[in-house]
Each structure stands twice: as structure tokens, then as C-alpha cells.
A and B are shown apart, each in its own frame.
Chain A
Amino acid sequence: MDRNIVLHLDNISKRFGPLLANDAINLELAEGEVLALLGENGAGKTTLMNILFGHYVADEGSVNVFGKELPPGSPKSAIEAGVGMVHQHFTLAENLTVLENVILGTEPLFAPRQNMRKATSRLRELAEEFGLAVNPKARVKDLSVGERQRVEILKTLYRDARILIMDEPTAVLTPPEVESLFATLKKLIDRGLAVVFISHKLNEVMAISDRVCVLRGGKVVLETHTSATSGEALAEAMVGRQIPEPKRTPMDPGKPLLHFREISISGEHRKLLLDNASLSLREHEILGIAGVSGNGQTQIADLLSGLIRPDGGEMILCDVEKFSPTPYAMVRQGIGRIVEDRNGTGLIGDMSITENLASESYRERRFSRFGLLRFKALRNHARKLIKDFDVRCPGISAQVRKLSGGNMQKLVLARVLSEKPSVILAHQPTWGLDVGASAYVHEQLLEARKRGAGILLISEDLDELLQLCDRIQVIYHGQLSAPMEADHIDLQKLGLLMSGHGSEAA
């Protein structure tokens, strides 16, 4: 190494009960480089960074920053030593302004005006220098996710961070926001900062990092220069085996299942959230909805979930004469709903696996009679599903909240797909899942397509859409583009449509 080592993790081990989360991990970070820390959920990435930042105390090993050992368990001394952390879940006070959030903890909040002015100009300088445009006076609650992340980065820079730890920073960002984040990161390393970039998205790691370190089961399994490796090699190192991504086989679509006919939905201030949106879904077909989130995807998902009704136009289920769209009615009509927010909406975290698996079907005669639950049937159902869908859990009476994200999603899939729905809504079904779990979800969706289901796949992940979909429509500002056959799709056109330049492209 010819450059200065700024961070040295020496032999870090950390145990949580029976689980060895970090097992004798050694890691070095040099000035001006981006080190990607790669690993599946539960591989120990977050634990390691929390030890570095002083949130956890390591059982063994030490953390050295700029040649000095950090006292364990002290975020304050980590900050003082120049370590800044951007958490996956932001730690901003929503009701305060950007400026107040940034200086919070660095100086008294109710300081004389002069300090505030100085802080404002410092913040402006930093923002300009690193391309982190954000209005210091704006309240955080009014900011988009991307802007909030910029505030988090500014917060660390304002405290003179020289080492930046970013925990899955792109998980919440839209593709253009990811690009601007990468531009910022390049500027940061040009100034000699060092960045630890935690992720499980391979293409991003390949794009941004100089070196990559792969964790698996709490151990470092691969450490190499990014240029000397490939996405496939990293994926294999991450999961310890090769993951065959399921392939879509061509299929003739069957009869139509679902139509949206010129549906409009207006939100606050009469803003159109869906604007004359039309789509048709057929049997044996996966229809993709591409687009940056917040362009009306939520409304499409809510319509199909039975949570809202169209203000104009109509939603037609081809097998059904008349129906009133409520969640219960939609389930009864054979619509499977895999919702974006599996934690808060798809599952009831405080209830057991058995209870969650029955939440859409408990009123059926097989699960209840005369108002009494049939526990034996419920438990057998749960046992069968966790086996069929390979849900890893301590038992069927375990609380859902304690499962990992991947297992939660398997639970949702189990509940939805076991009912053999004819129409399936899959809204960001692999969001936040690791490679193995994502491949599993894809496999299950393709399986349902083979069976004859029509699947509406709403995703921001273009790779996912191109891999799975028969046709793709792009949504922008509530308007749906005409469907494109996925086999001859023009990526450039797709990109233009997603950024709202559809008319020029056409």
C-alpha cells in the first residue's frame, strides 16, 4: 500500500448469544479510496460498522483511526477522530431545518445569530464543493429521500469527517439519485476522504469501489481490488455457492384478466396521481411497471389491493361482473397482493407466523367455524407453508417481527401464492433482499406465471424488470406509457421515458 492507512480494524470479534456476528475480522482502509463491504443480510456488515462507530463494543479486537486506537463503545470519540456514519435509516429530526439538523450536537442550538450565519455559509460551501445541493432553511420533513441523504452526508462533513461509512446508501434512492450520490463520492475521495460503502447490490459495488471486501457468516471471505474481480465472482463469494438466476421462458399469453381503463386518481390540491392510466394483464404474463418511485406506483398498488377507488375510469376484473373494491373483496376475487411495505402493511409484526399466514383467509370455513378459530387447521396450514416456502424460523408460533427481511418476504409469498391467485400484484418484491432471497422471489413469480397467473410487477430495478417481464410500461407523473415488448426493448428509450422525456423519444 503506497497510500496512508487511515483506518485499521484489527481482529474484531463480536458474539450475540449463540451467533458469532463478527469472527476475527481484519480490515484496512486507505486515504482516497472507496472500500465496498459486501455481504448478504446477516453477514455481519452492519455489526462491524456499528463496532467501528462505537455503537457496539467488540468482544475482541481494536479499532485504529489515523494510527490511534479508539476507546470502545464511544460514538463521540469516533466522531472526534473523524469517522462519520450515514445510516440506512436516517437519523434526522424531521421538524427541524436542514441547518439545525446539521449543527445539532456541534454547538448550542439557540446560539446567537452570528453563529448561525457562519454555520449557514459553511454549510453552503460544503454543499457546493461536493455537489450536495440542499436548502439550509428547508425543513427535513419536506425533503425527498435523496435530499435527506445529502443532509446526512453534510452532517458528517460539517463535523470534519475524514472517513465516511455509508450503510446501504442506495437502497432508498432512485436511479438518478444514485448517480448523483456516486458523483459526490468521487468528489469526496478526490479530496482524500475514505469511504466504506456497504451494499449488496453488485453492479453498484463494481461501479463505485476501488477495493471490495466480502463478508459471509461473520468472516472475510474475499478481499480484492474491484478491477481484479467480476460481479459473478463476488456473488458467489457472498452466498458461498452459485445462484442461478431463474430465466424466463417464452410463453403465449392467454385470455385477459385485468384492465385499467383510463383510470385517474387525484391527490391533495387536485394533483393527478394517476392520469388516464390504462393497462391490460393477461394469463401467463408478467407486466412490468418501470419508473422512479413516487410517480403513481403506490396508487396502482393501492387500487389492486382494494385500498382506494378510482376517481375516474374503471378497473375491470375480467372474471367478475360487479365487485366493490375492498381489500377483503380483492382477496376473495383471487388477487394476490405482495405489498411494498412488508413490515408495516403486509405483515403484523407482533403476531405469530401462524396468525399472519391466516390473516387473509381466517374467515373461510377451513379455518373457522361458528366464530371459533380452528387451531389445528391453522397450525397445519402454517407448518405446510413454512416447509413449502422454506421460511427459516424458530417455529410457527414465533413472532414475525423477529424474522429477517428475506424470511418475512417468503412468508408473504407463502400466504399469497399458496392461494393460487389469478392476478398477482408484486410491488418491489425484492426490495432490501439479498441475492439468494431475490432469486427465490423471482423463481416463485415465474412459477406462478407458468401456472397461468398474470403478474403486475412494479419495480424500480430495471435489471429485475428486464429479466422477468413480458411487457413493460413506464410510469411518469401518473401517466403510463404504451406497453413495450421486453424482448426488443430500447434501453435508451426506457430511460428517457422514466425521466419524463417520452414525447421526444417517440
Chain B
Amino acid sequence: MRLEPRDNLSLSITLGGPVLAVAAAMAICSLLIIWSGSSVTEAYAQLFKGALGSRFAISETLARTTPLILTGLAAAVAFRAKLWNIGGEGQFYMGACAATLLGTGQLDWPSYLLIPTLFIGGALAGGLILLLPTMLKTRLNVDEVVTTLLLNFIILLFVNYLLFGPWKDPMAMGWPQAEPILDEGLLPALLERTRLHAGFLIALASSVGVWALMRFTVWGYEIRAVGASPKAAGFAGIPVRRTVVRTALISGGLAGMAGVCELIGLKGYLTLDLSPGFGYTGIVVAMLAGLNPLGVIFSAFFVAVVYNGADSMSRALSVSNYIADVITATSLLAVLVSVLLTRYRIKWK
């Protein structure tokens, strides 16, 4: 058996690869469902019904898609420049912290001023915190995979300290949570009596924005060039360090915006379970999308379907909702394999 490179990639292969990969992943996971003693068709039917079966289910899934789009974009932008930002989770919380700092009474502004301010503040907080590992990378060659990952834990513990200490809301009956965001700072709902909020539109707009940035702008050109070959980019006179730093600000900013979105769109106050790992799942979302900013919308939606659907599946059947983690993880592996297979064809001999 050997691999031979394919000459030209047709569009159907490029698009069909991920779809087939996801199908393969679900086929593999059906073995686990059988093992747990349930019917595969019923389980998947429950999964899709739970995620897409009603107006409410769809709104819940889209609400979950929102932060995933933003953290997915954060990873996609950074990975394009080969800046391995694994710190989306920390940047998410930094964004939420900044929004809490600005939005709980310090600024008594109307909505049309306060909400943009919270987003800008959150994006800055997320971007600036990523600068720390990025500077260590560009100046001292410190591996950013390690530093961004470990910074997550530092930030989480710091948030922990804030919520149990100085930021603890005295009205929260002892729960570790910060004071609620002012009503002016909350995002309006998109659908009545659902949790789907205007943040979804912001996430969609961010996708289109990032896509346009990468495709049409000088900055995007520089990011792609530095990612493709830092050596050749530097030789041609492209400012490599400046580009990496700029990428870090954009990437961290997007993750920070995700935190703001969840805080002022959904929860209303900062807690330690604001994110069930959105920062990390963003990496999967970005990889599933092949780092394409528009593809991130679809992969984020898929991941949200799987997670939301798995919850209702586990309620209806005896399948644990951990199956969601298994499905997304298997999908990621399958997509990686499919990327290999779209570039190369296997020759059996």
C-alpha cells in the first residue's frame, strides 16, 4: 500500500471529504451505541430530534453554535499563521472578565454604547493576554503550545479567585458568581421565549469579516504567507513578527468576543461554568472546517448539533451523553484522515 499525490483537487472532493468523514465517524460511534445496548437508528433519531426537532431545539442549538463560531474563528486565524493558540479557553474568560468589569455598573451608558464597549473591551482583553505567549514565541522562541495551554489554567484559577473573593455578588446567596450585567449591556433575543440572542448574528458577521480579511486584505495576505513559510515570507520583506503579533491580537480578540457573547447574551453574570470548554472545542471546530472562516459556521453548527442532541439522546436512551465527545473527537480524526485522502490516493498493490 502506498500514497500517491493527487494532481488536482476537484471541488466535490474538497467538500465531500469532510461530509464523508463525519458520516464515517457516526458509523464508528454507532458501535458504541450498540455496545451500550440501544438501537442505533433510534439513538441517532433522538440525537437529531433533540438538536433540530423543534423551534426550541433549533434555537438552543444555534445558541450553542454562537460561541463555537467565535472560538473556532480564533483558532482558524491563528493556525493559518502557524501560531498554535491552544489558549482560547483562557481568552474566552478574559473577555468575559473584561465585560464584567465594564458592564456591572461602572459605565452607566445606553445599550448602543455599552454593548459595543463590552465587545471591544472583551476583544482587547482576549487579544492582549495572548500577546504574552506570542511575545515569548517571537522574542525567545518559547513554544506557544505549552504557554497558551498552561495560561488557561492560570486564568481559570484567577477567575476562580475573583468569583470567590472581590467580585463575589453578595446577593447571590453564596454562589460564586459576579454581579449581573446591567440590563443595558445585555444582547436582545432573536426569537421570543428562546435563548437565541443577537450574538449569533455577530458571530456570523465575524465569520464573513474574517473570511474577507484573509482573502482581500494585505493583512490576510501577510498572515497566509507567514503561515505557509515564515522563512520565505521574511526573505521577501514581509514583517513576520509584526504579522504574528497582529494575528495573536485578532485570534485572542475573537475568543474574547466569544466570552462576551456568552456572558451578555445568555448567562447575564460571570460564573466558572460559563464555558463548557468552548475554547478547546473551537480548535476542533476550526480543524473540521479546514481553517476556512466560512466553513467554521457549518462545523460549529455540526458540533452544536452533536452536543445538544446527545443530551436529549442520553435522556431518552441509556446512552451516556459523553457520546457527544466521542463523536466530535472521532469526526476530527476522520476529517484529518480525509484531508490526507483528498490530497493523496491510496494504491493497493
Contact = CB atoms under 8 A, between A and B. Distances in A.
Interface of A: 17, 57, 73, 305-307, 326-331, 337, 339, 344-351, 355, 359-360, 362-363, 368, 371-373, 375
B229 A359 contact: no
A368 B225 contact: no
B239 A344 contact: no
B232 interface: yes
Nearest to A55: B2
B86 to A, nearest CB: 23
B218 interface: yes
Interface of B: 7, 216-219, 221, 224-225, 228-229, 231-239, 349
Contacts of B233: 348, 359
Contacts of A359: 225, 232-233, 236-238
Given A355-B225, A371-B217, A373-B217, 14 more contacts: A17-B7, A305-B235, A326-B237, A330-B237, A331-B237, A337-B235, A344-B229, A344-B231, A345-B231, A350-B229, A351-B224, A359-B233, A359-B236, A371-B219
B224 A363 contact: no
A30 B105 CA distance: 92
Q: Please report whether the interface of chain B is mostly helix, strand, loop or mixed according to DSSP.
A: helix
Nearest to A401: B228
Contacts of B225: 348, 351, 355, 359
B224 to A, nearest CB: 7
Contacts of A372: 216-218
A331 B219 CA distance: 20
A346 to B, nearest CB: 7
20 contacts: A17-B7, A57-B349, A306-B237, A307-B235, A327-B236, A348-B228, A348-B229, A348-B232, A348-B233, A348-B236, A349-B229, A351-B224, A355-B225, A359-B236, A360-B237, A362-B218, A363-B218, A368-B218, A371-B218, A373-B217
Contacts of A375: 216
A373 B235 contact: no
A344 B221 contact: no
A405 to B, nearest CB: 16
Nearest to A368: B218
Contacts of A73: 349
B255 to A, nearest CB: 23
Q: Considering residues A329, A359, A372, which has the most beta carbons from chain B within 10 angstroms of its beta carbon?
A: A359
B218 A373 contact: yes
Nearest to B234: A327
A328 B239 contact: yes
Nearest to B5: A402
A349 B229 CA distance: 8
A57 B237 CA distance: 44
Nearest to B239: A328
Nearest to A72: B349
Given A351-B225, A371-B219, A373-B216, A346 B349 contact: no
Nearest to B228: A350
A344 B233 CA distance: 10
Which 3 A/B pairs are nearest by Cβ-Cβ distance? A328-B237, A359-B236, A327-B237
A331 B231 CA distance: 16
Contacts of B219: 371
Contacts of A349: 228-229
Given A344-B229, A348-B228, A339 B221 contact: no
A365 to B, nearest CB: 12
A179 B218 CA distance: 50
Nearest to A330: B237
A279 to B, nearest CB: 22
Contacts of A345: 231-232, 235
Contact of A351 (B228, B231, B234): B228
A505 B218 CA distance: 55
Contact of B221 (A331, A350, A355): A355
A347 B231 CA distance: 9
Contacts of A371: 217-219
Contacts of A347: 232
A348 to B, nearest CB: 5
A360 B229 contact: no
A14 to B, nearest CB: 12
B182 to A, nearest CB: 36
B137 to A, nearest CB: 20
Contacts of B7: 17
Contacts of B217: 371-373
Contacts of B228: 348-351
Nearest to B230: A348
B160 to A, nearest CB: 41
A338 to B, nearest CB: 11
Contacts of B239: 328
Contacts of A331: 236-237
A351 B229 CA distance: 9
Nearest to B349: A73
Contacts of B216: 372-373, 375
B232 A346 contact: yes
A372 B217 CA distance: 4
A326 B233 CA distance: 13
Contacts of A330: 237
Nearest to A74: B349
B259 to A, nearest CB: 27
Which among B224, B229, B231, B237 has the greatest number of chain A C-beta atoms within 10 A?
Answer: B237
Contacts of A360: 236-237
A378 to B, nearest CB: 10
Contact of B235 (A327, A351, A355, A362): A327
A240 to B, nearest CB: 26
Contacts of A306: 237
A253 to B, nearest CB: 29
Contacts of A328: 237-239
A447 B7 CA distance: 36
A363 B243 CA distance: 14
| Most chain A CB inside 10 Å of its own CB: which residue of B221, B224, B238, B239 | B221
A348 B228 CA distance: 7
Nearest to A16: B7
A187 to B, nearest CB: 36
A344 B231 CA distance: 7
Kindly name the residue among B228, B229, B233, B235 whose own CB sees the greatest number of chain A CB atoms within 10 A: B235
Given A305-B235, A307-B235, A346-B235, A373 B229 contact: no
A345 B235 CA distance: 7
A450 to B, nearest CB: 27
Given A73-B349, A328-B239, A373-B216, A362 B221 contact: yes
B195 to A, nearest CB: 37
Nearest to B226: A348
A200 to B, nearest CB: 24
A498 B104 CA distance: 76
A2 to B, nearest CB: 39
B237 to A, nearest CB: 3
A373 B221 contact: yes
A306 B221 CA distance: 22
A408 to B, nearest CB: 12
Q: Which among B228, B233, B236, B238 has the highest number of chain A CB atoms within 10 Å?
A: B236
A330 B237 CA distance: 9
A446 to B, nearest CB: 25
A226 B204 CA distance: 70
Contacts of B236: 327, 331, 348, 359-360
Contacts of A17: 7
Contacts of B224: 351, 355
Contacts of A329: 237
